[in-house]
Structure 1
């Protein structure tokens, strides 16, 4: 095992621990806050607003993340960001409305640091030939967090219609401890390394030594390029569906009274989402080189089909008012548990396809300018998540699904357009290089 692959595995393990804590908490946050409110009527904190605050601050501070990385580097940016994640979870041990909203804002800042640092560290450890493989390996390890965390929640919530204080304390304490383990791994991450040609190594060094102001202005300029504007539509869609499957869909299952053991179903849903994420990341990690040869466009098109099928089944299977509160309303068909968890799997698998291919594309096209590119990715993605969580308080489920399907079409077509343009440019460059080589041979 070479150093770069070891670094990618350690990065994935660190994120697996941190996001076992956070993604699980995000998945059950609505259930947790509702149970707190039933015991303490003065508590009126709203999980959807909390998530909207997180992603709002995430989007704003993404623009400053490249500047932070230029000063302290990706490793310590990720460590500081991860520390805020653990703080956000710990505040639920002594729940206060102001505490949740304050930590949500701070966590948005931390998210900008950890994710932009992750993209930069991934790129610095990857050659252009191996970026797709490394993206898949990282994504599979990261998404094991959903499988592990939600399996724990399933057993913790088993047989409970209401989540009492002792259960909440056990879950929050355990998740926090796992998050701290992730911080230890982040702190111990080795220096980025890859076997690369000297000129590319020089480019990396030059980028790392840019000043914070130049890093910021570079990110702004990059955002307004035609290619990045197209990609931003794809990024926006991943944010919309991220907000839906990570915070809303599981809540819909927990609120649908037609399901028996509906609180347990929240955990099962998370497990199946995680399984889809891990399988998708694993497949594209193993077959990363083949994906680059075939092109990313058919892979992303497959992700679109999976999500479109999931949205259609959810439309039929869940009550229209299920995002809001406990409901006895009938769905278009009789609500079916197996269809519900099938959709969880499809949402996770489709999400892994979009994200691994985006990571691969950014790491390839922007290999010499990765920090601003990943910051823009997370900026646009977090805007999408904000829209989802804010609209969740007022839009019925069917309207949310209509928006998701529309943006899935737009985001997929935008990604395919960029991929085709990238292939075309690569072909033209290879042709020109061949002609220059022939001309040089003739002159000799």
Structure 2
């Protein structure tokens, strides 16, 4: 994409109402624009990142055995009355009456709807276990939306729901999702710590929040220093019950808990390795047994002909919130530093002299070769001074920058810069293409 034809409204200064780094940089880098309190338009560059994050989430859900569907944003109030949550949920739920005086709501979550969908289709033990998920916009009417997409009112969420014949099966589904989440966040370059947490309005007796450490986080968290090691992908057979349990036990052996679930005995065991910080929640998983299947009449026939009430769990990832969390964890004083897996483009190509015919020809040729090699490239071909182009590229944080200038061309080289550490090397255009395409 040529920047001269793109829509990238960057800002030199941070807006006065932006309080945290991610909010400031998302506005300055032209990723989002606020349209109402806690509601954002996703501009082209931000949308590309959002789609990259969503795709990683989708791939790891599929790999864990979950099946994708898509449920609507508007839900009938009657479903929530069946579960008993309509009046209990609180003012965060946006309640709506349609033209026929039917009570509706803009869904903050989907336990009721997915239970009704599964109830109307499942008949016997042969239909279980199943885990269904979707990636859908949600709305919660926060009383004080703040921190940009970190605590907005409208947000993109992946929510999954598992159905099992008994508690043992449900706990295996829970373990599948816990490991899938660890792999999801590791692929994005994040160390997300699963911490014991309260279940809140979702219900149940088993819950973990996935927390990314950040000074601006909304939660006080306590954890063993071992969690500060780099995140790694887990090679896992999701069908191996014992093997999966061993992986989960290995992770949860190191203490980690939110303020509400602190364990003084385990903290004493950690000793000098105990750490305290603040963190950003990016995911939350729950096992809640028959909390929804019971009142909503979900029953299936067991293998022995008896009636069975399935056990359920729900599993959320804040897809849009993740963008803010990644920026909080990966930035410097010049701007965003995107992990390559979620970067909107892999390479920023800079023509230092748009008015120089030789530079323009060389940069155009390099742009074509990068595209032919399958490299996502944003080409700054604007008639701007070099300093402004460098500032823009550093701000938006693409992993690589390739600089084409008159001096380099005279020596047969271009400059390649790695955004993460600022390392610069000179090499031929062909070698630059090969390096970033590798």
TM surpasses 0.5: no
TM tier, smaller: under 0.3
Name the structure where helix makes up a greater proportion of residues. Answer: 1
TM-score normalised to structure 1 length = 0.23
Q: Which structure has the highest strand share of the two?
A: 2
Higher RCO (C-alpha under 8 Å, 6+ residues apart): 1
